[in-house]
């Protein structure tokens, strides 16, 4: 069974659903999932996220008990925009199921020409960028938005004419809304940078925007980072044991 949502899509989107990613699509990210850009409909550039085919039992869970990652990406993008935040405009999600299991899934959005905030201290006007990102994190937390994958590769920046920055969020399938736990929301500081000095600058900018004691927030953010690094080391050690 093939599902396209919303159903009213141009032929270019329907062909992706029927035949998969076209040969002329440009691969822009390759990992567990793959991301492509493609020109369609007279020059419109879209982004196609092709999700890894889930294995048993997830292939059945995503078709019955839980929404697929493609579906969640689409719905979370809609919710973000509704709350006044930015993400590439969602277009559609596609699911192909067979014998009760999810086989293929895609999330399609508008391609945007913005870069991720990796190595942000090399970005012109980075001091303002850090201040603006701190204020943006305060807005996210105040709105109860928890982005589980709040990392530099998933935050795109758009320089504005007045010297400030706008931020776009991607990789949305693990977002949560209506989160009220401050401890949980602070976990968004875990992997945004591995440099404690950079993290301290960002945490201070967030504290100023939120009206909180700077050093207290910095300490909490650094604790999140150190916990994240320790967790990664433990996982790496466990994996090496079972190799």
pLDDT mean by block of 10 residues, the chain; 243 residues:
92 93 94 94 92 84 83 97 98 92 94 94 96 98 97 96 97 96 96 96 98 98 95 82 69
Q: Are strands 34-40 and 26-30 parallel, antiparallel or unpaired?
A: antiparallel
d(CA 162, CA 176): 32
Query: Using an 8 Å Cβ cutoff, are 165 and 136 in contact?
Result: no
| Distance between CA atoms of residues 202 and 207, nearest Å | 9
Could you tell me the pTM of the whole model? 0.93
Topology alike, domains 2-110 and 115-238: no
Q: Residue holding tokens 């019955």?
A: 64
Instruction: Supply the pLDDT for residue 172.
Output: 96
pLDDT (0 to 100) of residue 5: 95
For 115-238, CATH gives 1.10.510
Backbone angles phi, psi at 104, to 5 degrees: -130, 150
Nearest to 175 by CA among 81, 91, 79: 79
Domain ranges for the chain: 2-110, 115-238
What's the pLDDT at 242?
A: 67
Q: Which residues contact 21 (CB under 8 A, 6 or more apart)?
A: 34, 36, 38, 48, 50, 106
- Predicted pLDDT of residue 57: 81
Number of C-beta neighbours around residue 25 at 10 A: 20
Q: What is the CATH number of domain 2-110?
A: 3.30.200.20
* Among 44, 112, 99, 102, CA closest to 72: 102
């Amino acid at each position: 069974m093939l599902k396209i949502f919303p159903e009213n899509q141009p032929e270019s989107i329907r062909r992706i659903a029927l035949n998969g990613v076209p040969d002329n699509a440009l691969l822009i990210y390759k990992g567990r999932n793959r991301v492509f850009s493609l020109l369609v409909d007279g020059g419109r550039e879209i982004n196609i996220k092709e999700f890894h085919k889930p294995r048993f039992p997830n292939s059945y869970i995503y078709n019955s008990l839980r929404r697929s990652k493609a579906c969640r990406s689409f719905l979370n993008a809609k919710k973000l925009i509704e709350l006044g935040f930015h993400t590439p405009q969602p277009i559609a999600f596609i699911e192909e199921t067979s014998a009760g299991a999810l086989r293929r899934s895609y999330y399609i959005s508008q391609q945007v020409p913005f870069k991720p905030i990796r190595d942000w201290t090399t970005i012109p006007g980075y001091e303002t960028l850090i201040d603006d990102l701190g204020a943006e994190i305060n807005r996210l937390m105040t709105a109860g938005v928890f982005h589980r994958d709040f990392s530099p590769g998933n935050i795109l920046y758009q320089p504005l004419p007045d010297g400030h920055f706008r931020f776009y969020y991607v990789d949305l399938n693990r977002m949560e809304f209506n989160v009220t736990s401050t401890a949980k929301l602070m976990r968004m500081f875990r992997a945004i940078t591995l440099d404690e000095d950079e993290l301290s600058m960002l945490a201070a900018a967030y504290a100023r925007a939120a009206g909180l004691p700077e050093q207290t927030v910095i300490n909490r953010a650094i604790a999140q980072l150190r916990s994240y690094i320790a967790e990664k080391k433990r996982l790496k050690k466990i994996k090496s044991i079972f190799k």
